[in-house]
Amino acid sequence: KRQIRNKVRLLQDPLPETAKSHLLSKEIEETTNEQFRYALMGLGGEGGWQLFAEDGLMKMYKRELEVDGLVCDPLKAVHVVKGVTAREMCYYFFAPEVRYEWETTLESMNVVEVIEKDKTLVFHQIHKRVWPAAQRDALFWSHMEQMDKECKASGDQLGPPVSGDLCSTWMVCNKSCDTPEIPVGRCLRVFLTVCLVGQTYVVGDPKSATRDKLTTRITYCSSINPGGWAPASVLRSIYKREYPKFLKRFTLYVKEQTENKPILF
C-alpha cells in the first residue's frame, strides 16, 4: 500500500517546498562545503591520484579503492572550457529538464522531492543495465549553490593556468539519500557522492564581457559504490569509457546551448 501511495505522490503531487526545516538541510550544507574543499585539493602528494584519461585540456584521475571486494575507485577530473560560465555549467548539470540530452546512462529519471525550487531536488534514476551485472538505480539529493565566499580563500588551482581574474564560482553536489522511500524493484542501488565545481575567469570587466573573454575551470569528482556484486574488470572498463564520454559530451552540450544566449554569471 505504501509503495502504491509513494508512486501516486510521485506522479501527481510532488511534496511542497520545505527547505528550511528539511531533515536533510544540515547534511546538504555540510556535504556541499566538504566536497567543495575536496574538489579544490591538489592532485599530488599523498592522494595517490593516477591519470587514466586525457583529451586536450581534460584530465581524469582515479584512485584504486575496493570496499568489501567491490571496486569503488574515486575519480577526479579537471577541464577548462572557453565561452561558458560556471553558473551555466552548473545549471545544465542540475536541471532535470535537460538531463536526458547529455546523460547517456539513463533509462529513467524522476524528481521525487522538491526541497527548494531550482536549488535542491531529490532524484530517482534508473540507469542502463550493463551485462552481466544487475541493473542499478540511484536515489540522491542534488544541490546547486554559488560558492564565491569560500572560493576566495582557496589558492590551490588545479589544471593549466588560465587568463583573466576569478569572477564567480558555482557548484552542484549530489549525494545518495534514503528518503523519500522509493522501492528498488529489480535494481541494485548505488551509493554516490558527486560534485561539479566551476570557476569562471574573465579578461577585462565582467559587465561588458563577451563570451570570448570567459574561461571556466571545471573540477568533477565522483565516488560510487556499486551497491552489490559486479566484476571488477567490468566496473573498471565501464567507468574508463563512461566518464570521459560524459565530460566531453556534457561540456560540448553546454557550449552549444549557450553560444547564442546572453551570458549568465
- Interface residues with ligand 16C (CB under 6 A)? 103, 105, 125, 127-128, 130, 133, 136, 138, 174, 190, 192, 194, 224, 226, 230, 235, 238-239, 242-243, 246
74 versus 206: smaller Cβ distance to ligand 16C: 74
Bond before 180 cis per omega within 30 degrees: yes
107 versus 165: smaller Cβ distance to ligand 16C: 107
The answer to whether the Cα torsion of 45, 46, 52, 55 is positive or negative is negative
Cβ at position 172, least distance to ligand 16C in Å: 8
Name the β-bridge partners of 202: 165, 214
The percent of the chain in helix, strand and coil, each rounded to the nearest 5, is: 35, 35, 35
CA distances from 95 to 100, 112, 262 (A): 10, 14, 18
Cβ at position 229, least distance to ligand 16C in Å: 9
8 versus 108: smaller Cβ distance to ligand 16C: 108
- In angstroms, the CA 84 to CA 251 distance is 9
- In angstroms, the CA 106 to CA 111 distance is 14
Cβ at position 198, least distance to ligand 16C in Å: 14
Cβ at position 191, least distance to ligand 16C in Å: 10
80 versus 194: smaller Cβ distance to ligand 16C: 194
Q: How far apart are the first and last CA of the chain?
A: 46
Task: Write the DSSP symbol of residue 57.
Answer: T
49 versus 191: smaller Cβ distance to ligand 16C: 191
Cβ at position 263, least distance to ligand 16C in Å: 24
